[in-house]
Structure 1
Amino acid sequence: MPKLSVILSTYNAEAWLEKVLWGYCCQTFKDFEIVIADDGSGPKTKLLIEAFKKDYNLDINHVWQEDDGFQKSRILNKAIVAAKSDYIVMSDGDCIPRADFLEIHNTFKEPGCFLSGGYFMLPMDISIKIDKNDVFNANCFNVKWLKDNGLSSSFKNNKLRSKGFKSQVLNLITPTKPSWNGHNASGWKKDIVAINGFDERMQYGGQDRELGERLVNYGIKPKQIRYSAICIHLDHKRGYKTPESINKNLAIRATTRKEKLKTTAFGIHKNH
């Protein structure tokens, strides 16, 4: 049994998924499996995954469902069930992890807690420019390289420069509250299963936060690792983002908070 199960969501984004999988080839922590939560991609994604399993010896389990519109919550629940480890790291197929990403999650995990990381958002032109060499040589995490390729100066660039003591100080002083972020969060499988996973009524917009809110209601404490566990987010369009899905999800989250709900009837196990 691997020490960590990494769940990555994807949908017809092979170019981005390839860059992300290169990032997992470079991890200093090796005892992990990858569970691809595939929300209905075509055959190109399957071919890419098969090539990676062969060429890079990555332990990948491709969990796929028929394309039925944006059903990320449903495929994530299937991936949670499929995960072999008792500890789950969740990220996305558009987030390249720094080489110490999994080592940080493994080091900071503790019973009764979940870990809340962030991401560093890249513009589209730099996202496209990153190639295999830039991932394997960690250029894409180097502020100078990024600035040479058009990145603006910002306090947020500290995320990429932070390690050790500096990252711990920034974790303490950040005004951002720790929450379950689908691009960078981790927790114990038993806790996620106890709250019945993701609410499958929810489409795009905050379904990850709602899961975290139920974990907190269940008694699990969020722990900030925003400046420790680093991944870079490749830009993309969000055609599935609609006012209807946002408003529906906000209403579900409001109920979760108001009624202090610990579980959902619309999760891994259906009781409706």
Structure 2
Amino acid sequence: MNKDISIIISTYNSPEWLTKVLYGYNAQTFRNFEVVIADDGSDEKTKKIISEIQKEVFFPIYHVWHEDNGFQKTIILNKSIFATTTDYILMTDGDCIPREDFIEQHIKNREEGYFLSGGYYKLPMKISKQISKEDIYLGKCFDINWLKKNGIKFSFKSYKLIAVGIKSWFFNFVTTTTPSWNGHNSSGWKSDFLKVNGFDERMQYGGEDREFGERLINKGIKSKQIRYSTVCIHLDHARSYVKPEMIEKNLQIRKETKANKKVWTEFGIKKE
């Protein structure tokens, strides 16, 4: 049976976190999907856990990998877009565990001429480590009461976990956060991605996802806010790969995209 949606999950040498994330997709209410792992040069440990977990989960997993040559997420994402077999793509990260209705909400809210902009609920390292397979399958790690028992303090951000139905719609409507392309939780039509030539492969960490979304908007694709409808929890991790020169270079590329209302990148899927 043909799949309805492709889930692209980016990862780099985080097999423990990726395992938890894949368990989250094994608990989804919407089940007609494929997973493409966009692997930015992980070692054999990641390949091994993907092989092992494929025997346990119901969905197909395709492992798209290239050699480690520094932070090259944009390159592996473009390769992964090309590897998908469906018309609709959801992008997320290998440190974001999806709630059971995560894909269902993206499917329900998708619309021609739009991309969907979701968010996440960030966890500290202690709880990130503590979450077990059972906690994911039973949904405990998305239960605000369970999280409070384990040291999380209630805040306005907690409404991402407890707002459902009309409440989630209301918070999506009133939030002052601009719906942008967020690499941890956004989805759109593959045909739209190709119209802007995918991600700009000159870009490394820092705004590379936003720049992609800005070109989609320049193309006339609108953004829809669903940050309170599509829940995923973000596991903590270090960011040793972040360098000031990466941030500065990306800022300059984004400035050019905004100033010139650029739609197409010459450094994307298709090379001139």
TM-score (normalised: structure 2): 0.99
Cα separation, 2, equivalents of 1:109 and 1:144: 31
Give 1:159 shift.
0.5
Give 1:52 shift.
1.4
Partner of residue 23, structure 2: 22
Whether 1:210 and 2:220 are equivalent positions in the alignment is: no
Cα separation, 2, equivalents of 1:33 and 1:162: 28
Cα separation, 1, equivalents of 2:144 and 2:43: 35
For residues 192-248 of structure 1, the C-alpha deviation after alignment (integer angstroms, 9 at most, x for no partner) is 011000000000001000000000000000000010011000000001111110111
Cα separation, 2, equivalents of 1:7 and 1:266: 20
Partner of residue 241, structure 1: 242
SS in structure 2 of the partner of residue 55 of structure 1:
coil
TM-score (normalised: structure 1): 0.99
Cα separation, 2, equivalents of 1:57 and 1:63: 19
Structure 1 vs Structure 2 CA RMSD: 0.6
The within-5 A match list for 1:66-215 is: 66-215=67-216
Aligned partners of 1:115 and 1:225 also within 8 Å: yes
For residues 108-150 of structure 1, the C-alpha deviation after alignment (integer angstroms, 9 at most, x for no partner) is 0010000000000001111010010110010100001001111
SS in structure 1 of the partner of residue 8 of structure 2:
strand
For residues 41-79 of structure 1, the C-alpha deviation after alignment (integer angstroms, 9 at most, x for no partner) is 111111111111112232100000000010000000000
For residues 10-44 of structure 1, the C-alpha deviation after alignment (integer angstroms, 9 at most, x for no partner) is 00100000000000000000000000000001111
Cα separation, 2, equivalents of 1:221 and 1:87: 16
- 2:208 maps to a residue whose letter is Q
Partner of residue 263, structure 1: 264
SS in structure 1 of the partner of residue 247 of structure 2:
helix
Instruction: Could you tell me which runs of 5 or more consecutive residues in structure 2 were left unpaired when the two chains were aligned.
Output: none
Partner of residue 7, structure 1: 8
Partner of residue 64, structure 1: 65
Instruction: Could you tell me which runs of 5 or more consecutive residues in structure 1 were left unpaired when the two chains were aligned.
Output: none
- 1:29 maps to a residue whose letter is F
SS in structure 1 of the partner of residue 106 of structure 2:
helix
SS in structure 2 of the partner of residue 211 of structure 1:
helix
Cα separation, 2, equivalents of 1:247 and 1:140: 36
SS in structure 2 of the partner of residue 175 of structure 1:
coil
Aligned partners of 1:52 and 1:58 also within 8 Å: no
Identity %: 58
- 1:30 maps to a residue whose letter is R
Q: Alignment length, in residue pairs?
A: 271
